[in-house]
Amino acid sequence: DTAVSQTPKYLVTQMGNDKSIKCEQNLGHDTMYWYKQDSKKFLKIMFSYNNKELIINETVPNRFSPKSPDKAHLNLHINSLELGDSAVYFCASRLGGANTEAFFGQGTRLTVV
């Protein structure tokens, strides 16, 4: 069983469209994240949720809206896609606490054309 699973793995779409990426974890973790990895492999946190509550929102445009229906799921919806949104988006989860590791999904490669 995959611990953190994201769908879809690849997403190609036109500018201006709205798209969603789904993430589910079966580890029983309390905290989930979305990270964005750019073409130079730089990873930047976007959002963090703890038990369905938004904890971190790191200066992400309003076009990005996370939704956590329960603590096992954290979805990312993006409105009015722009070329600059092209990147790999990673979902991650962790149990919480400073010493715990984060488990990452396989990533969703978003290409906006």
Partner 1 sequence: GDSVTQMEGPVTLSEEAFLTINCTYTATGYPSLFWYVQYPGEGLQLLLKATKADDKGSNKGFEATYRKETTSFHLEKGSVQVSDSAVYFCALNTLGGSEKLVFGKGTKLTVNP
Contact positions vs partner 1 (CB under 8 A): 4, 31, 33, 40-43, 45, 48, 55-56, 90, 92, 96-99, 101-102, 104-107
- Give the β-pairing of 87-94 and 108-112: antiparallel
Q: Which is nearer to partner 1, 80 or 86 (CB)?
A: 86
Q: What's the rounded Cα separation, in Å, for the pair 10 and 48?
A: 23
CB of 112 to partner 1, least distance (A): 20
CB of 32 to partner 1, least distance (A): 11
Q: Based on CB atoms, which residue is closest to partner 1, 47 or 85? A: 47
Is there a contact between 106 and 6 (Cβ–Cβ < 8 Å)? Answer: yes
Residue 55 Cβ, how far from partner 1 at the closest point, in Å? 6
Least Å distance, CB 82 to partner 1, is 23
- Give the nearer residue to partner 1 in terms of CB position, either 48 or 68: 48
With a CB cutoff of 8 Å and minimum separation 6, the contacts of 113 are 12, 13, 14, 15, 83
Please check whether residue 108 is in contact with residue 88, taking contact to mean a CB–CB distance below 8 angstroms.
yes
